[in-house]
Amino acid sequence: MSYSVRLQRKAAEWEELLADWPGEYPMQGVWEDEGGYQVFFASAATAERFVAVHGGVIAPVAEAVHSWWEDWEPLLVGERFFLCPRWREDPTPAGRLRLEMIGANVFGGGEHQTTQLCLELLEQVLRPGQRVLDVGTGTGILSAAARALGAGTVWACDVEPAAVELARAHAAAWQGSVDAARAGCADLVVCNIHLAVMREILPELRRLGAPLLLSGFLAGQVAELTAGLRVLGLRERDGWCAVWAVG
């Protein structure tokens, strides 16, 4: 059972909070509509701690809440990808690689700007045969994309059991941790993750010595995260950013 907290207003303060989420409130995702935000948590205890500080209304998440998944439409992303909900049978356009959009309380369904920005950069920088490490894999969509682009080996890791289960079905997933990886194990590291987590694990990602494809942050936070790195590529959409960097 998941739990949601309804934030009844939309404002710049909430956009900053949701982008720079405190680590003590691990969330499963955020749904934005005209009235505000709905934030999803894996446990009632986490939701209650959040509400005690920030306010909001807690409600259990029924399957009906996710009926919007059924309204997803296929998307053309970048020059090579065709994202399509797994329950649709739309034909894959010529020259496109088909990726499944997965509806779940795990990040990486395919509809978010950061996922799409990562896919656009990935198709530009990944070379056939390269080894890819996908950190915080979520549904496994970026791992699946790397394999479709011809990566030789793809490892994926996530600390959420639900994410590992989904990613195993979506792509080959490794349930481990970044600190278990050794320097030189990958030719490219992909990480589309919440900013609070990114801050904690970025030193470990850099230790691996591979180019980094990073997302999950806003344009105003790029300078902080890329300090000491050489940015080779940057994409931005609706305030969200993805970067390709080395160093």
Question: Region 130-142: what's the mean pLDDT?
Answer: 89
Question: Region 167-186: what's the mean pLDDT?
Answer: 61
Please give the pLDDT value at position 149. Answer: 94
The pTM (predicted TM-score) of the whole model is 0.72
Q: What are the residues whose beta carbons fall under 8 Å from the beta carbon of 233, sequence distance 6 or more? A: 121, 124, 125, 243, 244
Sign (positive or negative) of CA dihedral 12, 201, 183, 189: negative
Residue 63: pLDDT over 80 = no
Residue 173: pLDDT over 50 = no
Determine which of 75-79, 97-101, 117-121, 171-175 has the lowest per-residue pLDDT on average. Answer: 171-175
User: DSSP label at 220?
Assistant: G
Q: From CA 34, how far away is CA 12, in angstroms rounded?
A: 14
Please give the pLDDT value at position 117. Answer: 95
Determine which of 34-48, 51-65, 129-143 has the lowest per-residue pLDDT on average. Answer: 51-65
Please give the pLDDT value at position 55. Answer: 79
Please give the pLDDT value at position 68. Answer: 52
Please give the pLDDT value at position 19. Answer: 61
pLDDT per position as a tens digit, 103-133: 655 566 677 889 999 999 999 999 999 999 9
Which amino acid belongs to residue 37?
A: Y
Please give the pLDDT value at position 81. Answer: 95
Q: From CA 121, how far away is CA 234, in angstroms rounded?
A: 8
